[in-house]
Every structure is written in C-alpha cells, then in structure tokens.
Chains A and B, each alone.
Chain A
Amino acid sequence: AAGVIQSPRHLIKEKRETATLKCYPIPRHDTVYWYQQGPGQDPQFLISFYEKMQSDKGSIPDRFSAQQFSDYHSELNMSSLELGDSALYFCASGPPGQGYEQYFGPGTRLTVT
C-alpha cells in the first residue's frame, strides 16, 4: 500500500538559511498534519490542512509557513533557521470523509549548524 512520502529525508542547513520540506499524502487522503519531534521528545503539532485550507495551528514559529496545494501535497517553509530548529519533521495524512486516523511519513531530519 502507498504511504506518505516526504522529501528530502535529510537536510543540513546553516543558521539563518531557509528550508523547504515536502509532503505527499497517501492517495485520496485530504488532510495533512505537520509535527516536529526533538530528540527524546514526543511529536509536537505544528499545523494542519484539510481540503487545501489551514484547519488548525499549533506551536509553529512565525518564521515557518506552510500550504497545501491543489494536488494535496504540502510544503513547510522554514526561514531564518535557528539551531533549535534541528529536529525530525513528520508529515501525517488523514483519510477522506473526515477520518480520524493519521498515518505518518518517514520524516525529514533537519540539522541546523
């Protein structure tokens, strides 16, 4: 079965640079969620999109923005990167019909030096 695809899998950036993370949900899933997971921590909700509209916002810095496109893929844009932004960034997708489940992608490991 097709799963959530995230790219890139690994990303190394310097402080103050920008990064763009991409997420391709499971086919026919219409909801995308972004989570940030620091080392040894639980995933923290950043932002979500339902039918291409932002549906909820969590602890996402103003330096970050995201959107969901017409083909339902989503991009997380991160600017003015800080050392503390180093983390695993997961995208999850949810099934149509306002299904409850969330299926996680493999994540993007962002390292800011």
Chain B
Amino acid sequence: GENVEQHPSTLSVQEGDSAVIKCTYSDSASNYFPWYKQELGKRPQLIIDIRSNVGEKKDQRIAVTLNKTAKHFSLHITETQPEDSAVYFCAASMGPGGYNKLIFGAGTRLAVHP
C-alpha cells in the first residue's frame, strides 16, 4: 500500500544553519508532494509543494527537490530562524485533484536554537 517514510524524526540546529528533511514514498504513481508546517495545536500549513514533472522548486529560504527514480524528495531550509521551529510533515498523493488523498510521513520536529 501507499507509504511515506520521513527522516529524521527530530532535528536540532543553530540559528542560521541549514536544515534538511528527507522523505521516500512507495507508490510510483504518486505525482504531487507537498510539505506542511505544523505548530503545536494548530493546523498544518502548506509551505511548499512540487509536482512530479519538476525536479526542484524554491521559495525564498525553502526549497524542495524530487528524485522520481529513487522515489524520494527533500525539504531544505536555509538560514534557519527560531520561528522555523515546528513539526514538518511531508506528504504524497496521486492526482488528479478531487481524488488525491494525502499520505503523510510521520513528521520531523525541528528545533532552531538562537
């Protein structure tokens, strides 16, 4: 069945360092890969996403890369700030929209220390 593995489960960095979170997916039919940031008790917030026809996407300090052959994708955060501290979830789904339930990874708790 569909499965998404996410590593590491916890990540601690110093302010200004980079953080990398990696995910692998099992279903080769997956074609959409979003990343969500969730603060304690709050909603998952979509921060960046990538579709299978693209290898890399960047938005200011965050970027996502996708390797379809290896079935893995990664989130890169540069120049981390304390407000980046949260739980980050990767997810995978099969389109088209309207039918694409998200299968989430187990999450990575990122702590950015001043």
Contact = CB atoms under 8 A, between A and B. Distances in A.
A31 B32 CA distance: 16
Nearest to A44: B104
B52 to A, nearest CB: 11
Given A43-B89, A90-B44, A107-B43, A98 B98 contact: yes
Interface stretch (A16-24, A49-57, A79-87): A49-57
A58 interface: yes
Interface residues of B, number: 26
Contact of B95 (A33, A41, A100, A107): A100
Given A42-B105, A100-B96, A102-B102, 9 more contacts: A33-B102, A43-B44, A48-B101, A58-B101, A90-B43, A100-B34, A100-B49, A100-B95, A101-B97
